[in-house]
Amino acid sequence: MNNNIYGIDLGTCNFKIFCKSTGEVLKEKNTIAVKDKNTLYAYGDSAYEMYEKAPEDIRVIFPVVSGVIAEFDYLQKMIFDYLEEKMKMKLRNAEFVVAIPTAVTKVEERAFYQVFKNSKYKPKNVLLCKKPIAAAVGLGLDVNEPTGIMLVDIGAETTEISVISLGGIVSKELVDVGGNKIDEDIVSYIRKEFNLVIGKKTGKALKESIGSALPPTEENSKVIVGRDVVSGLPIEKEISADVVYEAMQSNLTTICNAIKVILEKTPPELAKDIIHSGIYVTGGSSMIQGLDILFEQITNIKINSADNPEDSVVRGLVEIVSDPKYKSLTYIPKEKL
């Protein structure tokens, strides 16, 4: 049995890689720093540290945007440099199983395939797998059964809502709202309300530390540093949980409405299964406090929250490359588009 197999999840915020031979799951920021327009200066966690801090000659970019590859060459170089140099992995004749979003076009789908197929290491095989399928398998669900499974995957830039049965996706909805959009709204709201300019990293820190999908029941706040619009000087400001809650409401409402739309589209027999088993919520941006309770309130259906939700997809790829019964869940894109 071939152990030189890798499961790849190229998320907007992070990329995760499962190596079958070692049993390790590797995780790194999906970020690249480019110097003097075309020189790869840094990548991964070290490049992300430069975000919003780099001088003019260093550009920090994210090679995957809204689930689609935006910087093909840089992404390919980063992935293989990471595998080769940092982890000392044997890459020639390897097999790759790559998770892709459901809403991508055939051209965008093929780009994920070509990142690995066209690499200098000449892989033995490259297979694709739809992300919701991999995430459901990662949650321990048997997607091959004739049972309806509803999955809400909240990522960095998109939320993917899917109903799965018999190894396929019956219905889906992609919403252009994710963790990054929520962070941006927190930044905008604080600028509007307090004339205070903060960075996206600070907005993210507020979301993760005191953000809540439900009205806060306790007094909670966090002191941040930003630039005063009037004076132009940096100042400290205490931001309450109520402020962060208000800033997040618009995007959370959009996700809630999309969940209701999918439930309305779901065939009755599958809806019966979903009511019985509940809705599964996963993705790195699903860890907002109280989000499961909010979803339960708007659907009247039990919500199943994942442990380590940001790793659901890559854990599913672990199972897919290890268990022959899941072989049918992977595929090779057609040569002609």
Please tell me the pTM assigned to this model.
0.91
- Portions of the chain given CATH number 3.90.640.10: 179-247
Residue 160: pLDDT over 60: yes
SS3 of the chain: CCCCEEEEEECCCEEEEEECCCCEEEEEECCEEEECCCEEEEECHHHHHCCCCCCCCEEEECCEECCEECCHHHHHHHHHHHHHHHCCCCCCCCEEEEEECCCCCHHHHHHHHHHHHCCCCCCCEEEEEEHHHHHHHHCCCCCCCCCCEEEEEECCCCEEEEEEECCEEEEEEEECCCHHHHHHHHHHHHHHHHCEECCHHHHHHHHHHHCECCCCCCCCEEEEEEEECCCCCEEEEEEEHHHHHHHHHHHHHHHHHHHHHHHHHCCHHHHHHHHHHCEEEECHHHHCECHHHHHHHHHCCCEEECCCHHHHHHHHHHHHHHCHHHHHHCECCCCCC
Answer with the residue of higher pLDDT: 197 or 24.
197
**What CATH code is assigned to 179-247?**
3.90.640.10
pLDDT tens, position by position, 10-38? 998 999 998 887 888 889 999 999 998 78
Q: What class has domain 5-29+64-134+312-329?
A: alpha beta
Pick the CATH number of 141-177+256-310 from 3.30.1490.20, 3.30.420.40, 3.30.1330.200, 3.40.640.10: 3.30.420.40
